[in-house]
Amino acid sequence: MPRISSLSIRLILALLLMVLAGGKPAWAQQAAGQQHIRAELVALTAAQPGKPLQLAIHFTPEPGWHGYWKNPGDAGFGMELDWQMPAGWQAGAPEYPVPQTLLIAGLMNHVYKGDYAVLIPVSIPPEQSSRGVMNLAVDAEWLACSDTLCVRERGLLELTLPMGAAPRPDARTAAWMGAIPPLLDKQANFELGAGKLRLAIPLPRSFEIADPHLFIANTELVKYSSAQAFARDGDMLVAEVDLADDAVAPEEIEAILAFDKTQGVHLAAVAGDVPAMSGEYLKKGDAGPALPWLLLAALAGGLLLNVMPCVFPILSLKAISLARAGESEAQARREGLAYTAGVVLACVALGGVILALRAGGEQVGWAFQLQQPAVVIALLFLAVAITMNLAGLYQLPGISITRSGEPASAFATGLLAAFVATPCTGPFMAAALGAALLLPTASALLLFAALGLGLALPFLAIGFIPALRKRLPRPGPWMERFRRIMAIPMGLTALALIWLVARLGGKPFALLVMLALFGLVFGLLIVGKLQQRGKLAWPAFGLIAAPFAIFAAFALPASYEQRRNEADSILEPLPYSAQSLAEARASGKPVFVWLTADWCITCKVNESVAIEREQTREAFEKSGVIALRGDWTQPDPAISAYLDQFGAAGVPLYVWYAPGGEGEVMPQVLTPGLLADLAAGRAVNSNDNPRPTDPATGSD
Q: How much is the average pLDDT of 140-157?
A: 86
Q: What pTM does this model have?
A: 0.53
Mark whether 130 and 205 lie in a shared domain: no
Q: Is residue 11 part of a domain?
A: yes
CA 59 from chain center: how many Å? 28
Q: Is residue 369 part of a domain?
A: yes
Mark whether 47 and 108 lie in a shared domain: yes
CATH number of the domain to which 582 belongs: 3.40.30.10
Mark whether 555 and 579 lie in a shared domain: no
CA 392 from chain center: how many Å? 41
| pLDDT of 176 over the 80 cut | yes
626 vs 491: which has the higher pLDDT: 626
Q: What is the pLDDT of residue 291?
A: 67
Q: Is residue 282 part of a domain?
A: no
Q: What is the pLDDT of residue 350?
A: 84
Q: Is residue 520 part of a domain?
A: yes
User: Residue 435 — very low, low, confident or very high, per pLDDT cuts 50/70/90?
Assistant: low
| Distance in Å from the first CA to the final CA of the chain | 43
Mark whether 45 and 171 lie in a shared domain: yes
Q: Of the candidates 115, 149, 178, which is a domain's last residue?
A: 178
| Total number of domains in the chain | 5
Q: Is residue 633 part of a domain?
A: yes
Domain, as residue range, for 530: 507-560
Q: What is the pLDDT of residue 313?
A: 56
What b-and-e string marks burial along 104-115, b requiring 16 or more CB atoms within 10 Å of the CB?
eeebbbbbbeee
Residue 138, strand partner residues: 83, 157
Mark whether 425 and 376 lie in a shared domain: yes
Q: How much is the average pLDDT of 244-255?
A: 91
| pLDDT of 16 over the 90 cut | no
**What are 61-120's pLDDT values in tens digits?**
998 889 999 999 987 778 999 999 999 999 999 999 999 998 875 678 899 988 999 999
| pLDDT of 427 over the 60 cut | no
699 vs 503: which has the higher pLDDT: 503
Q: Percent of the chain scored above 90 by pLDDT?
A: 33
Mark whether 481 and 514 lie in a shared domain: no
Residue 92 CB-density burial (10 A; 0-12 exposed, 13-18 middle, 19+ buried): middle
What does the H/E/C string look like for 627-658? EEEEECCCCCHHHHHHHHHCCCCCCCEEEEEC
Q: Is residue 279 part of a domain?
A: no
Mark whether 475 and 330 lie in a shared domain: yes
Mark whether 553 and 521 lie in a shared domain: yes
Q: What is the pLDDT of residue 5?
A: 45
What does the H/E/C string look like for 3-61? CCCHHHHHHHHHHHHHHHCCCCCCCCEECHHHCCEEEEEEECCCCCCCCCEEEEEEEEE
CATH number of the domain to which 246 belongs: 2.60.40
| pLDDT of 328 over the 70 cut | yes
| pLDDT of 440 over the 70 cut | no
Q: What is the pLDDT of residue 411?
A: 86
What DSSP designation does 465 have? -
| pLDDT of 122 over the 90 cut | yes
Mark whether 310 and 450 lie in a shared domain: yes
Q: Of the candidates 499, 529, 560, which is a domain's last residue?
A: 560
d(CA 656, CA 693): 10
Q: Is residue 493 part of a domain?
A: no
Q: Is residue 276 part of a domain?
A: no
What does the H/E/C string look like for 592-621? EEEEECCCCHHHHHHHHHHHCCHHHHHHHH
Q: How much is the average pLDDT of 590-617?
A: 89
User: Residue 3 — very low, low, confident or very high, per pLDDT cuts 50/70/90?
Assistant: very low
For residue 255, give the nearest of 181, 196, 363 by alpha carbon: 181
Q: Of the candidates 237, 271, 305, which is a domain's last residue?
A: 271
Q: What is the pLDDT of residue 61?
A: 92
User: Residue 185 — very low, low, confident or very high, per pLDDT cuts 50/70/90?
Assistant: confident
Mark whether 650 and 601 lie in a shared domain: yes
The mean pLDDT of the chain is 81
Mark whether 482 and 547 lie in a shared domain: no
Q: What is the pLDDT of residue 145?
A: 86
Indicate the range of 31-40, 440-449, 515-524, 625-634 predicted with least confidence: 31-40
Mark whether 35 and 142 lie in a shared domain: yes
| pLDDT of 336 over the 80 cut | yes
